[in-house]
Amino acid sequence: IKLKLTGLRRFVRTEAEIADYTAQVAAAQDTLVSGTGAGNDFLGWLNLPVDYDRDEFARIKQAAKKIQQICDVLIVIGIGGSYLGARAAIEFVNGQFYNQVRPEGIPEVYFAGNNISSSYLNDIIKMIGDRDFCINIISKSGTTTEPAIAFRELKKLCESKYGKEGARERIFATTDKERGALKKLADDEGYETFIVPDDIGGRFSVLTPVGLLPMAAAGLDIDAVMAGAAASREEYSHGSLHDCARYAALRNLLLFKGKSMEIMVNYEPSLVMLGEWLKQLFDESEGKDHKGLFVTSANFSTDLHSIGQFIQDGSRIMFETVLWVKEPRSEITIEHTEEDIDGLNYLAGQTVQHVNQKAYEGTLIAHMDGGTPNIILEIDRTDAWHFGYLVYFFEKACGISGYLLGVNPFNQPGVEDYKKNMFALLGRSGFEERRKYLEARVKL
């Protein structure tokens, strides 16, 4: 990743302001690396790229091979941190049409249990049809409602199609090593299980079996993913003002200047889901104690035709972090036509990536002129190695940034409130008082 500051010059005295901030950035990084800060029991991801269970890694590859051999469709059930990383990886490397353009021997991969829609779940079941399928159920806690509902339905389908014995061969569970309902169920049923380490929270679990099994089943090179992450760890282990720390510092400097929203911008549709994971990573890590940047994502040039208006000209509350990919997965050259009805002949001989690049450069200057600062992160290409590299870069930046902000980046107390209300309204036992109180208030 190359961090470029060209889009910030008018907004931050970049080097000078970062220099003034150096001591705090160094302290935040020390807190993270020495494990002395809040949430320090969730730092297992810091050394994961070089310190992971090699036996389990080999088992992931074997399970992926088995999935590829016995099924046409793999359904990955999970939500939040147990969903977004794997999908982001598969789309990053193989594009949004990965199911249609996959090589021979690779199953289609779909994601379920990331919403509470009966229509979506019925569509998944319809889409599987008569085809052979496997399930990877992922839940660290083993008690999350969305995946539990989806699993109940798909397990039933699997057992009715293959019998209990057959289903056992086709269901893979990724969960806590000893706690939770899913662990108990997996043990009782005899499913092959993979472990979400205790010291790694959901949004930091991409490089554990949570992300690696679906990636491997989809044909991604998980050795390359881990090698990329290891290179990133090495790169950002030295000194206190490397690009990862500078990115964390710049986000906070911009927040101090009243830019309370960060838009993660891409110019490649294959990064859409990476944007979704980034939203989770940063918003769940930093949005607490009434603090934090609100991180969202935008897909350009698509969204230049919609929210681009606001970014250019609306409330001046945001900055952009642009993820620019230098080499597309494949290229198209625009050809000359006799009629030139669309007036594109002036681009004949140019690549579509060239046009994309000019859109990026033009947008960057327009948005800066409109008062929106830009942090630029350039990536060479979207392969498995770069995915691993990016994941580690952002995880570490998030840890440093959270400590700079003064929050515990590794908990998420705020996500419990809606769950308690939902359980109470559903009539779950133990929530009787809350139910009475809510029912008096909710008259939909």
Give yes or no: 284 in active site. yes
Q: Which of 419, 432, 436, 439 is catalytic?
A: 419
Choose, by CB under 6 A, the member of 80, 275, 388, 402 that binds ligand PA5. 80
Regarding 114 and contact with ligand PA5 (CB under 6 A), the answer is no
- Among 427, 421, 419, smallest CA distance to 148 is for 419
- In the complex, what is the shortest distance from the CB of residue 402 to ligand PA5, in angstroms, rounded to a whole number? 13
Cα angle: 267, vertex 271, 273; to 5 degrees: 140
Binding mask 277-296 for ligand PA5 (x = CB under 6 A): -------x------------
Cα–Cα distance measured from residue 142 to residue 186, given in angstroms and rounded to the nearest whole number: 10
- In the complex, what is the shortest distance from the CB of residue 147 to ligand PA5, in angstroms, rounded to a whole number? 6
Regarding 139 and contact with ligand PA5 (CB under 6 A), the answer is yes
Regarding 214 and contact with ligand PA5 (CB under 6 A), the answer is no
Cα–Cα distance measured from residue 396 to residue 162, given in angstroms and rounded to the nearest whole number: 44
Place of tokens 């995915």: 387
Residue 345: count of CB within 10 angstroms of its CB = 15
Cα–Cα distance measured from residue 187 to residue 204, given in angstroms and rounded to the nearest whole number: 25
**Of residues 398-417, those binding ligand PA5 (CB under 6 A):** 412
Choose, by CB under 6 A, the member of 140, 183, 233, 279 that binds ligand PA5. 140
Does an H or E element contain 194, and which?
A: strand 192-195
Q: Which of 91, 108, 276, 284 is catalytic?
A: 284
Give yes or no: 419 in active site. yes
Place of tokens 């730092």: 43
Cα–Cα distance measured from residue 10 to residue 241, given in angstroms and rounded to the nearest whole number: 21
**Of residues 43-72, those binding ligand PA5 (CB under 6 A):** none
Cα angle: 329, vertex 73, 98; to 5 degrees: 10
Query: What's CA 234's distance to the chain center, in Å?
Result: 22
**Of residues 350-379, those binding ligand PA5 (CB under 6 A):** none
Number of residues counted as binding ligand PA5 (CB under 6 A): 14
Binding mask 232-271 for ligand PA5 (x = CB under 6 A): ----------------------------------------
- Among 6, 3, 2, smallest CA distance to 361 is for 6
- In the complex, what is the shortest distance from the CB of residue 268 to ligand PA5, in angstroms, rounded to a whole number? 25
> Cβ contacts of residue 368 below 8 Å, gap of 6+?
7, 10, 11, 374
Choose, by CB under 6 A, the member of 29, 31, 68, 82 that binds ligand PA5. 82
Q: Which spans of this chain sit near ligand PA5 (rule: CB under 6 A)?
A: 79-82, 139-141, 144, 147, 201-203, 284, 412
Residues serving a catalytic function are 284, 419
